[in-house]
Chain A
Amino acid sequence: MKGTAKLLLLSSLVVLYFGLGVVGPWYADVPFQGSIAALCVLLRLQTSGWRGLRTDLAFLLPFLCTLVAMGALLDAFAMANRTDWTEDALCKALVFPNSFWSIQLAVGALRLTDLVALPRGVRRFFILTHALVSKSRPLIERLWWLVCHDPSLQTGPWIIRSGRRLTVLLAAALIAVYHETEATVRVYDARMALLEENPS
């Protein structure tokens, strides 16, 4: 399957999951969410192997553990007279990775060949989005390397140093991604105009 059909199918699957499992009736349905999680893990293993899965878990686990710990803490203090904080946190701890993986798998399944085959009206948007999503990770990794080697961010206790580095990364990444978007759009339009002026 290629082009528009593939794009529509993938978008429909993601929308279906979000409609049922994130904002819909099966949000707190643990067997449903568990099945989706198992399916996503299997697909992730198939597409990126153990390495890809490990990278995802390294990104997700700290957040999920913090989420569950916060739920347990709120339960311990019976905040807002509720006793379901932990249960709710556990649901979120399944829903969040499922949402993350469903989008990641859908974006990963789209190839540039699919996007080039799209109708002219929507092609530019999807090609540029795909290009920017592909460029963003290396861009942020490079920024993180620069931040970690910045001499002004080498001193102080670990927690303060890490906090400062993350703040700097966030600020720099926001501006850098904006600039990259602007530059990529400019280059795409210029190259397309060049080819249109020189049709083969």
Chain B
Amino acid sequence: MNSSGQSTHPSLREESLQHEDPMLLGPWEIGVHPPGLTYRIPAISLPYGSRVWLSGDNGAGKTVFLERVLLPRLAAMGRQVFLVAQDLLLQAHVMAAVLASRGQRAPRCLDDLVMAWCAPARPNSILLLDEADRHLSPRTIHQLLELPLAFVVAVSHQGRPCTTTHCFTICRHETLVHLEIGP
């Protein structure tokens, strides 16, 4: 998919080379209302191609972190962000309609639908997987993690996906949420 994209669109190759720099996150102190949480994220530099496993207890604020902290900031950096949301079965309707608007036939199988939806991702794109392993097969998760993308974050309660390079944990104390290294 992306390799063919590179061969047909040389500009994408140039773009990817420009973006093969580390991913810089933080330092951020961000209040999210509702639910009234404050995120303290330290300055982190992750190498190009990092695959991050994000864990944390129920209600720690992982989804809020992905959707309300990380996604807007990555988008503000000019990154193209593909979010596979926790309510993937609902998002699948959007994915199917998006594929139809591109003139493509939407696959009936959810795994194929997600792969087809992610197909336009470029080497400088970012993929956020919010408990996608609840709905997708391990093979598809593996394929998504193997896509040639700048940065992938996978939230999961099923254990660390084997292809991840970093582990972070979201920890919450009352309304203060911070990111810790390691599970």
Contacts and interface: CB of A to CB of B under 8 A. Distances in A.
- Centre residue among A149, A175, A179 by max chain B CB count within 10 A: A149
A175 B120 CA distance: 24
Interface stretch (A86-94, A113-121, A165-173): A165-173
B90 A150 contact: no
A191 interface: no
Given A149-B83, A151-B80, A175 B93 contact: yes
A151 B82 contact: yes
Contacts of B96: 171-172, 175
A171 B85 contact: no
A146 B90 contact: yes
A119 to B, nearest CB: 34
Contact of B91 (A146, A167, A169, A179): A146
A147 B101 CA distance: 12
Interface residues of B, number: 23
A139 B90 contact: yes
A149 B84 CA distance: 11
Chain A interface main SS type? helix
A142 B91 CA distance: 9
Contact of A152 (B71, B89, B98): B98
Contacts, number: 54
**Which of the four size classes fits the interface of chain A?**
20 to 34
B110 to A, nearest CB: 13
Interface string B105-127: 00000000000010011000100
Contact of B80 (A142, A154, A175): A154
Contacts of A171: 93, 96-97, 100
A151 B93 contact: no
A38 B47 CA distance: 62
B20 interface: no
B100 A176 contact: no
Interface in B135-162: none
A146 B85 contact: yes
B44 interface: no
A129 B93 CA distance: 22
A172 B93 contact: yes
Q: 5 closest A-B pairs (Cβ-Cβ)?
A: A172-B93, A171-B97, A168-B97, A172-B94, A172-B97
Given A142-B87, A151-B81, A175-B93, 13 more contacts: A143-B93, A146-B94, A149-B83, A151-B80, A151-B82, A152-B101, A152-B102, A154-B80, A168-B97, A169-B97, A171-B96, A171-B100, A179-B93
Interface of A: 139, 142-143, 146-147, 149-154, 164, 167-169, 171-173, 175-176, 179
8 contacts: A147-B94, A149-B75, A149-B83, A151-B125, A152-B102, A153-B98, A154-B80, A179-B93
